[in-house]
Amino acid sequence: MAITRRTMIMGTAALAGTLPFRLHASTTVGNYTVDTLSDGNLILPAGFILGEHVNDAADILARYDLGTEQLTPDCNVTLLRDGENTVLIDVGSGMNFQPSAGRLVDSLDTLGVAPEDVTHVLFTHAHPDHLWGVLDDFDEPVFYNARHMIGRAERDYWLDPETVNTIGEERMAFAAGALRYLNAVEMDVFEDGDDVLSGLQAVGTPGHTPGHMAFAVNGSDPLVIVGDSIGNHHVAFEQPQWELGSDQDGELGAATRTALLDRLNADKAMLIGFHFPFPGIGHAEKSGDGYRFIPA
């Protein structure tokens, strides 16, 4: 194998493997084998995630052994394989966001999947922990054989030069990063309702970001990869109508989350949440006026 900048950095990462990586081969849905892969976790102020409800949520968080100061949500990347296509839903944050994340390539390696094996990369949205892993430390595409795809509305929002001026100070770095990373690879677009691949449909779930997409995997037991449209396994389930700080449009995010949970419950569909406890797969079950997450 020729030694390139890419193979050098991959080799360095493998030798450095001092942190544990967790892998979960979850299930088969339709024609797809579905695996969830850990990209590590984030470390965030609880107020950033829960907004004005951070104190209201104290009792809920306590039931999950969580506090109101800091939360450390897992980051679960979904891998779909049907024998022909090897598809990643999001790519994690790479090495430039938080040191506790950026582990996707190592997790893929535990499955025997190399970056060049990936045929498609689909993005739920363009926040750092979902997009920034698209480039390596030399600003070259990690998944260099893959077709990269994102919802049209999401792409257009982040490529608008005014977004960085209107998004608010705490998310300005998100906007600058999205502009950089989206321009670094050729990016095809799709619309709400499109069959992105056979048996895989895009589902518009705006609010967390303006063009956020979930993905429905068709099968006798359907699966919805919800991304951040349901952003956690506690408050978002028990109080889906609350406007949360992690959503750029809190009101729309709450409406989308409530409707999606209603649908998941009615359809008895499995779901994968990007920030649910690893491996992030389970069901939504009605509980009082809200829901609870039932791990698979």
What burial class does residue 85 get, using C-beta atoms within 10 Å of its C-beta: 0-12 exposed, 13-18 middle, 19+ buried? Answer: middle
Q: Render pLDDT for 115-145 as a digit per residue (tens, 0 to 9).
A: 999 999 999 999 999 999 999 999 999 999 9
Residue 5 pLDDT > 60: no
Residue 215, φ and ψ in degrees, nearest 5: -135, 130
Q: Which of 148, 143, 99, 144 is nearest to 123 (CA)?
A: 148
**pLDDT of the residue at 156:** 98
Q: What is the set of domains in the chain, with CATH numbers?
A: 23-295 (3.60.15.10)
Q: Render pLDDT for 244-289 as a digit per residue (tens, 0 to 9).
A: 999 999 999 999 999 999 999 999 999 999 999 999 999 999 999 9
What burial class does residue 255 get, using C-beta atoms within 10 Å of its C-beta: 0-12 exposed, 13-18 middle, 19+ buried? Answer: middle
Q: Name the average pLDDT for the chain.
A: 91
pTM: 0.91
**pLDDT of the residue at 23:** 57
Q: Quote the CA–CA distance of 211 and 286 in Å, as a whole number.
A: 27
Residue 35 pLDDT > 70: yes
Q: Which of 218, 215, 219, 188 is nearest to 204 (CA)?
A: 215
The Cβ-side half-sphere exposure at 261, using a 13 Å CA radius, reads: 30
| pLDDT mean over 174-190 | 97
**pLDDT of the residue at 24:** 56
Please report which confidence band the pLDDT of residue 27 belongs to, taking 50, 70 and 90 as the band edges.
confident
